[in-house]
A and B are shown apart, each in its own frame.
Chain A
Amino acid sequence: MRGSAHHLIGKKTGILMLLPSLVLIGTFLVFPAIWVLYMGMTNETLTGIRAANPQFVGLQNFVRIFKDRFFYNALKISLLFVFGSAIVGQAGLGMTLSVITYRKSKKFRSFVQAVVILAWIIPEVVVAYLWVAFLDKDFGTLNNVLHWLGFEKINWFYDYPVLSIILFNTWRGTAFSMLLFSAALETIPPSYLEAADVMNVSPWRKFKDIILPNIKSYIFTDLILITLWTFNVFSPYLLTHGGPSFKTELLPIYIYRNAFRYFKIGYGSAISAVVLGINLALALVYLRLSGRGARK
């Protein structure tokens, strides 16, 4: 793949063809990111005098963030949320499902995929409502079932708020990982596993020795994507509004609270810039790991 573009088209033509997308990326991604960084150095608010005439305050906002215990709370919950719902939940469950359906009949695989994708194609707000209806203390489906089975009703959003949003996001996002892993598994030549079948290799060793090394790069790609997405996901707000008492206040919700509930646009922008930095760092870590994981 390396260098093939140089042979196919000239450098000038290449740049020319890249130009439209570069302009779009510049306008809608790079510029806002820089703008957020700039706003983070002002004391701009949503209303009042400072909305019209924001002042440049340098790194004041950033210094404040690192003294703000709510920032550390949000960071901690976000990391827990990413680990629980993205890495363990979506990737783990997605991998399990794709391996279970791998080399099985097409009908079975299509059925499982259809069910899982259903969770993915339903609009976000509807999904949130479904989960409220499912986990509600008094009228929720789950509690009704538990009650019918003779268990105590549980106030899920109050007693297990983080677990609730982790389950919600796992359910919501597993389809992506499962589809990606299923597609990755299809790239393994069937003879690799048939050879292993004939050699009497156990299912676990087949997974560890043959499947995993052959889809490693797909796994890293998946992990980068879902980590970043989950880090920036806002929809748990629809379930818990960040509560009770900030127990589910993820970073995006924390930003939202500061920027749009407390009207502190400048401060909110500064937090956004920090989150941007965290995302960048995470992406770099994954890229480094996957680069090292690849065969020399």
Chain B
Amino acid sequence: MAWIEFDHVTKRFEEVVAVNDVSFSVEKGEFFTLLGPSGCGKSTTLRLIAGLEIPTEGRVFIAGKDVTFIPPGQRNVAMVFQNYALYPHMTVYQNIAYPLTVRKVDRKEIDQRVKYVAENLQIHSLLQRYPMEISGGQQQRVALARAIIQTPNAFLLDEPLSNLDAKLRIEARSFLKHLHMELGTTVVYVTHDQAEAMALSSRIAVMDSGNIRQIGTPKEIYDSPADTFVAGFIGNPPMNLLEVEIIGYRVKLEDQLLEVPELVEKLLKPVDGKVTMGIRPEHVKIADRGELKGTVYVVEPLGAEIIITVKLGNQFLKVLTFEEMNISPGDVIGLNLNREKILLFDERGIRIEKRAE
């Protein structure tokens, strides 16, 4: 059985449906991420796992036990909050020791375990300081130490990196991933940052307005997004989504035509008329004799890569390239699309599946 399981869980706050009939399961040892924009219900989902909220409908299981109505303290999970929730009047040592102190663990054992965890997280030199006296990154480690010392069934992390500055965030991200590999404990992680989700997770659940749009490995989510929401949310820059028309074996984009016989043949259902075409910026190549013609709108060099926004009629297409190019706004350039990577979405935004090869 799955380690953490949501069975048709709905959570309503008065009139607002925060989580709408959500089901998923997390395997033991997984790094499972709930990803979505603010207000999508990801934090509520995490709080439902912790027991800080009780579902309006549905069931929650942890380690094979129905915990739907079991108070948070008896679920044996450890949570790290966005603001870390370290107690300002306690030293780092007291903060880390606190979960054991309240369990009335023997003082010697507490001392051993605090020192062991602190050593591992490289915060042993801070033990006598107060939370206000250490940096944000250090506070985060203290919060993690306080979670780890509880040896829980799962770690629940609520946007733990969002209070750190950009540089520290990348560092902390690698640190978290390494920590998860070392401990092997199940992690449920909440973030609105798709890069974080991609970098850390074994699997990602993309959420939007209380619903799960897609669950899958980072690669699945990236390569075959279930709908235009997921496609537009993942990737930096995200996938290009263009309004096109399918006419026979051709795609009509604005007033240009593109022959795509293989693509149309592979589709599981016949498509005719208006659809949305998705293509990732790195799957568009700039070529002198490209099949599509467009006008360069903006060029954004980012050091290693360049993002070029191209105008095709009334629509914009982003191109990601690693080659140095001598182009400037106003230039007319040719574009080639990697046919294999083109995705089509129907009028509801759902991806039209292709036959497996």
Contact = CB atoms under 8 A, between A and B. Distances in A.
A194 B130 CA distance: 20
B88 A198 contact: no
A279 interface: no
Nearest to A194: B52
B71 A197 contact: yes
A67 interface: no
A197 B79 CA distance: 10
B297 interface: no
Interface residues of A, number: 17
Contacts of B74: 200
A200 B78 CA distance: 10
Contact of A199 (B82, B89, B99, B130): B99
A197 B72 CA distance: 6
A292 interface: no
Interface in A174-199: 189, 191-192, 194-195, 197-199
Contacts of A201: 73, 102
Interface in A189-215: 189, 191-192, 194-195, 197-202, 205, 209-210, 213-214
A200 B76 CA distance: 9
B85 interface: yes
Contact of A295 (B71, B75, B130): B130
Contacts of B50: 194, 198
Given A189-B85, A205-B102, A210-B87, A197 B130 contact: no
Contacts of B78: 198-199
12 contacts: A189-B83, A191-B85, A192-B85, A194-B52, A194-B81, A197-B52, A198-B52, A198-B78, A200-B73, A209-B102, A213-B87, A295-B89
Interface of B: 50-52, 71-75, 77-79, 81-83, 85, 87-89, 98-99, 102-103, 130, 150, 156
Interface of A: 189, 191-192, 194-195, 197-202, 205, 209-210, 213-214, 295
- Shortest Cβ-Cβ A-B pairs, 4 listed: A200-B73, A191-B85, A195-B85, A213-B89
